[in-house]
Chain A
Amino acid sequence: MNAIFRTFVVAAALILGLPAVAADEVNVYSSRKEELIKPLLDRFTAQTGIAVNLVTGKEDALLQRLKSEGANSPADLLVTTDAGNLYRAKAAGVTQPLVSDALSTAIPAVFRDPEGHWVGLTMRARPILYVKGKVDPATLSTYEALAGPDFKGRICVRSSDNIYNQSLVASLIAANGEAATETWARGLVANLARPPKGGDRDQIKAAAAGECDIAIANTYYLAGMLTGKDPADRTAAESVAVFWPNQDGRGTHVNVSGAALTAAAKHKNAAVQLVEFLASPESQQWYAQENGEYPVRDGVAVSATLTAWGPFKADSLNLARLGELNAPAVKLMDRAGWK
Chain B
Amino acid sequence: MNTHSASRLWSAGIVSVALVLALPVLVIAGFVFVPAGDTWRHLAATVLPDYVTNSLLLMLGVTVGTLIGGVGTAWLTSMCQFPGRGIFEWALLLPMAMPAYIIAYTYTGMLDFAGPVQTSLRGLTGWGHGDYWFPEVRSLGGAALMLSLVLYPYVYLLTRAAFLSQSLCVLDVSRTLGNGPWQTFWRVALPLARPAIAAGLSLALMETLADYGTVQYFGVQTFTTGIFRTWYGLGDPAGAAQLSALLLSFVLVLIALEQSSRRHSRYHQTSQRHQAIRRHRLRGWRAAAAVAFSALPLLFGFLIPAGQLAAWAATIAHTVYDTRFLSLVFHSLGLAAVAALAALVFAVLLAYGKRLHPSSAVRAAVRLAGLGYAVPGTVIAIGVIIPFAWLDNTLDAWLRATFQVSTGLLLSGTLAALLFAYLVRFLAVALQTVEAGLGKIRPSMDEAARSMALGPGQVLRRVHLPMLKGSLITALLLVFVDVLKELPATLILRPFNFNTLAVRAFELASDERLADSAPAALTIVLAGLIPVILLSRSITRSRDAHST
Residues of A within 8 A of B (CB): 1, 4-5, 7-9, 11-12, 14-16, 18, 21, 27, 33-35, 53-58, 60-62, 64-65, 68-74, 88, 159-161, 163, 166, 195-202, 205-206, 208-211, 221, 224, 228-230, 232, 236, 326-327, 330-331, 334-335, 339
Which of these binds chain A: B87-95, B167-175, B216-224, B438-446? B216-224
Within 8 A of A (CB), among B110-144: 112-114, 116, 118-119, 128-129, 138
- Known interface pairs A69-B412, A210-B129, A230-B515. Does A202 touch B46 (Cβ–Cβ under 8 Å)? no
Which of these binds chain A: B10-18, B202-210, B329-337, B346-354? B329-337
Contact A72 B219 (CB under 8 A): no
Contact with A along B458-500 (1 / 0, CB 8 A): 0000000000010001001000100000001001101111110
Q: State the Cβ distance, B120 to closest chain A Cβ, in Å.
A: 11
B454 beta carbon closer than 8 Å to chain A: no
Which of these binds chain A: B188-196, B278-286, B358-366, B386-394? B386-394
Which of these binds chain A: B227-235, B243-251, B262-270, B295-303? B227-235
Interchain CB contact (< 8 A) of B392 among A64, A72, A334: A72
Contact with A along B308-345 (1 / 0, CB 8 A): 00000001100000000000001101110110110000
Contacts of B495 in A (CB 8 A): 18, 55
B408 beta carbon closer than 8 Å to chain A: yes
Q: State the Cβ distance, B329 to closest chain A Cβ, in Å.
A: 11
Contacts of A161 in B (CB 8 A): 216, 225, 228-229, 233
Interface centre among B113, B129, B237, B388 (most CB of A within 10 A): B113
Contacts of A35 in B (CB 8 A): 507-508, 511
Contact B218 A70 (CB under 8 A): no
- Known interface pairs A8-B340, A14-B334, A57-B492. Does A64 touch B382 (Cβ–Cβ under 8 Å)? yes
- Which chain A residue has the least Cβ–Cβ distance from B542? A1
Q: State the Cβ distance, B416 to closest chain A Cβ, in Å.
A: 9
- Known interface pairs A1-B538, A68-B386. Does A15 touch B337 (Cβ–Cβ under 8 Å)? yes
- Known interface pairs A15-B415, A56-B491, A57-B491. Does A199 touch B512 (Cβ–Cβ under 8 Å)? yes
Contacts of B390 in A (CB 8 A): 68
Contacts of A53 in B (CB 8 A): 496-497
Contact A72 B503 (CB under 8 A): no
A236 to B409, CA, bound (A): 50
Contact A12 B334 (CB under 8 A): yes
Contacts of B138 in A (CB 8 A): 197-198
Contact B497 A74 (CB under 8 A): no
- Known interface pairs A34-B499, A229-B515. Does A58 touch B108 (Cβ–Cβ under 8 Å)? no
Contacts of B116 in A (CB 8 A): 232
Q: State the Cβ distance, B235 to closest chain A Cβ, in Å.
A: 5
- Which chain B residue has the least Cβ–Cβ distance from A228? B513
Known: A159-B216, A339-B221. 4 other contacts (CB 8 A): A4-B534, A65-B492, A74-B408, A199-B217
Contact B496 A27 (CB under 8 A): yes
A327 to B378, CA, bound (A): 21
Q: State the Cβ distance, A4 to closest chain B Cβ, in Å.
A: 7
Q: Please provide the 9 A-B residue pairs with the shortest distance between their CB atoms, ordered closest to farther.
A: A15-B334, A197-B219, A53-B496, A11-B337, A68-B389, A330-B233, A205-B114, A209-B114, A334-B46
A74 to B396, CA, bound (A): 14
Residues of B within 8 A of A (CB): 42-43, 46-47, 108, 112-114, 116, 118-119, 128-129, 138, 216-219, 221, 225, 228-229, 231-237, 315-316, 330-331, 333-335, 337-338, 340-341, 378, 381-382, 385-386, 388-390, 392-393, 396, 408-409, 412-413, 415, 469, 473, 476, 480, 488, 491-492, 494-499, 503-504, 507-508, 510-513, 515, 534, 538
Contact A88 B476 (CB under 8 A): no
Q: State the majority secondary structure of interface residues on B.
A: helix
Q: List 14 A-B contacts (CB under 8 A).
A: A1-B473, A5-B341, A11-B337, A14-B330, A15-B331, A21-B496, A58-B492, A61-B382, A159-B216, A199-B217, A206-B112, A209-B113, A229-B315, A327-B236
Contacts of B389 in A (CB 8 A): 65, 68-70, 72
Contacts of B108 in A (CB 8 A): 198, 202
A230 to B516, CA, bound (A): 10
Contact A209 B473 (CB under 8 A): no
- Known interface pairs A224-B513, A229-B316, A229-B515. Does A54 touch B337 (Cβ–Cβ under 8 Å)? no
Contacts of A163 in B (CB 8 A): 232-233
Contact B42 A88 (CB under 8 A): no
- Which chain A residue has the least Cβ–Cβ distance from B339? A12
Contacts of A73 in B (CB 8 A): 409
Interface centre among B218, B494, B512 (most CB of A within 10 A): B512
Contact B42 A331 (CB under 8 A): yes
Q: State the Cβ distance, B334 to closest chain A Cβ, in Å.
A: 3
Contact B381 A205 (CB under 8 A): no
A131 to B507, CA, bound (A): 29
- Known interface pairs A201-B512, A331-B42. Does A326 touch B235 (Cβ–Cβ under 8 Å)? yes
Contacts of B385 in A (CB 8 A): 64-65, 68-69
Contact B235 A334 (CB under 8 A): no
Q: State the Cβ distance, A166 to closest chain B Cβ, in Å.
A: 6
Contact A327 B235 (CB under 8 A): yes
Contact A331 B234 (CB under 8 A): yes
Contact B381 A74 (CB under 8 A): no
Contact A61 B114 (CB under 8 A): no
Contact B409 A74 (CB under 8 A): yes
A15 to B237, CA, bound (A): 33
Q: State the Cβ distance, A8 to closest chain B Cβ, in Å.
A: 4
A1 to B468, CA, bound (A): 12
A51 to B112, CA, bound (A): 44
- Known interface pairs A15-B335, A69-B413. Does A9 touch B341 (Cβ–Cβ under 8 Å)? yes
Q: State the Cβ distance, A48 to closest chain B Cβ, in Å.
A: 17
Q: State the Cβ distance, A81 to closest chain B Cβ, in Å.
A: 11
Interface centre among B331, B334, B538 (most CB of A within 10 A): B334
